[in-house]
Copies of this chain bind each other. A is one copy, B any other.
Amino acid sequence: MSEYSERLFEVAQLAHAELLTPDLKRTLWFFKDLLGLQESGRRGDSVYLRAYEDYYHHTLKVTAAQTAGLGHVAWRTTSPQALERRSRALEASGLGEGWNEGDLGHGRAYRFRTPDGHKMELFWDVDYFNAPPERKTRLRNRPEKRPLHGVPVRRLDHINLLASDVAQQEAFMRDRLGFRVRENIKLRNGTTAGTWMSVSALVHELAFMGDRTGAKGRLHHLCYWYGYPQHLADISDVFKENGVQIEAGPGKHGISQAYFLYVFEPGGNRVELFGDSGYLIFDPDWKTITWGEDELDAGIIWYGSSLPAEYFMYGTPAVQKPKEATAASTGA
């Protein structure tokens, strides 16, 4: 018993993500008019958004850019002390990039890159959203009234990134930041094809899947949460009638048990909507569930809509598809 290695409790949550878009206007239409996100600020080429049950200033920063893709991912630590400790650990890893002065909605942040090159940051000080009187609700644990337009998502859920070496990403996030590896996929050749990690009861706030194009630092998708299956049907109706391309879903993943819907926002980034809670993990000594290559059919789709071959190839920024990629392969 004395040898049990105690876990880190240093990163608390996915705080926000920044998406790049070549079509800022239509990307905002997608997130605001269809998904009911609220605008909480603008600065330079960026617009800051949040869902009606997000507590902070924003959970999404949309920035005009030449191509779609990931700007950065921000994590809030469990304490200011944890922020200091993690910044030192990241610095020691060689992937730290130092402190910045913060942004609209939060204080100073420590920047770093994953081994694959995704930009990330940690911070502690944050601005809470404070609804103007006409948007305040009597439901005191809800930051503001449920919007009356679109099919409004409730909160940011997780982010999924493509990486050339998934095992390396997994080890980095686990060892340096305390993420627990909840589920992963191991191919027969020993490669880790995907990993789902979390710092909370969620199965994942962060996932990595193998990027078979050989590219680095790409985004697979960002996910907002509904929590009720019906809302995936409602928003599917809306997407079909308003020219938004549904890639896959609604359907149920085996891995994470997520009831999913994948669409492309007009800027080209893939967005997931989450229609239930999947399952939650409270076991402090969770043993990673490893799916083998011959179990993947149930792991990827438990029931409902299947995933097209493109799901395993396309990310942002988009890259040329390599010749060896085949539709039949779904392992990464």
Contact = CB atoms under 8 A, between A and B. Distances in A.
B241 A137 contact: yes
A284 B76 contact: yes
Interface stretch (A95-103, A168-176, A216-224, A295-303): A295-303
B148 A55 contact: no
Given A146-B241, A250-B250, A254-B139, A277 B277 contact: yes
A222 to B, nearest CB: 16
A323 interface: no
Contacts of A282: 12-14, 200
B79 A302 contact: no
Number of copies: 4
Interface stretch (A17-25, A110-118, A232-240, A309-317): A232-240
Contact of A284 (B78, B236, B238): B78
A280 B138 contact: no
Interface string A66-105: 0000000000111111100000000000000000000000
Interface residues of A, number: 81
A1 interface: yes
Contacts of A137: 240-241
A304 interface: yes
Given A237-B146, A251-B304, A252-B236, A79 B284 contact: yes
Given A148-B33, A284-B12, A303 B140 contact: no
A246 interface: yes
B250 A78 contact: no
Contacts of A327: none
A131 to B, nearest CB: 11
B306 A238 contact: no
A191 interface: no
Given A200-B282, A201-B202, A282-B12, A254 B140 contact: yes
A326 interface: no
A251 B138 contact: no
A79 B6 contact: yes
Contact of A233 (B141, B229, B238, B280): B229
A255 interface: yes
Interface of A: 1-2, 4, 6-7, 9, 12-14, 33-34, 53, 55, 76-82, 124, 137-142, 145-146, 148-150, 154-155, 183, 200-203, 227-231, 233-234, 236-242, 246, 249-252, 254-257, 259, 276-277, 279-280, 282-285, 289, 291, 295, 298-299, 302-306
27 contacts: A12-B282, A12-B283, A55-B283, A76-B284, A79-B285, A137-B240, A138-B254, A138-B295, A139-B240, A139-B298, A141-B203, A141-B254, A142-B257, A146-B234, A146-B238, A148-B149, A148-B150, A148-B242, A200-B200, A201-B280, A227-B277, A229-B233, A233-B252, A233-B259, A236-B303, A251-B305, A304-B305
